[in-house]
Amino acid sequence: MNRSFRLFSIGPRIRKQGARLVATSALRLQILSLGAFRREVVVEPRKGWLMVHDRQFWFLERTRLVPFEQVEAVTYGFEDWTLGGWFFWARDTRELFRVGLRLRTGKEFDLFRFYGEGRFVNESYFPDWWFWEDFLTDLSGTQEQESRVLVELLSKMIGVGVDRPRF
């Protein structure tokens, strides 16, 4: 029995401001970095562009304006970050979902990463009920659902498809 809670995941805050979509780095990450790192992505569908504003090390700031015409695809990838996942056949996973853009020039970059506690996975020869304790107390984050929402919104607002990252 898996139950998902936002508490067990780290991802950007996504909100609507008028017709614009605004996504900002997770507050927990900003606090952990003492405000040194922050990213804000603003999608402006009426004007046909998105803006990526980065702050690194408190004083280095960079803003990129990307017209929709330059975007080839929204990239969406998954990585299993479970430590020793290859060693244990039955385990709780750690998941990382990456949302980014591929430009027509071939350049790719991540916009945001969603990290969190995943579901219990049983790849052993034993049935699931053998691990009933792990199965019944399985808690996971909402990183998968939240990353899919962002990917779908970006894809529809920009007017491009979704593809896997090449790197």
Q: Supply the pLDDT for residue 51.
A: 94
pLDDT mean over 147-167: 88
99-148: pLDDT as tens digits: 999 999 989 989 999 988 766 666 666 666 556 555 555 565 677 788 89
Helix (H) or strand (E) run with residue 93 in it: strand 90-103
Under the phi-then-psi rule, with left for phi > 0, alpha for psi from -120 to 50, and beta for the rest, what region is 25? beta
Residue 82 pLDDT more than 90?
Answer: no
At 63, is the pLDDT very low, low, confident or very high (cuts 50, 70, 90)?
A: very high
* Domain that residue 148 falls in: 3-163
User: How many other C-beta atoms lie within 10 A of the C-beta of residue 103?
Assistant: 13
pLDDT mean over 42-47: 93
Q: Which two tokens stand for residue 56?
A: 């690194």
pLDDT mean over 3-8: 57
The predicted model scores a pTM of 0.77
| Number of domains present in the structure of the chain | 1
At 164, is the pLDDT very low, low, confident or very high (cuts 50, 70, 90)?
A: confident
The amino acid present at 61, given as its one-letter code, is E
Distance CA 167, CA 110 (A): 11
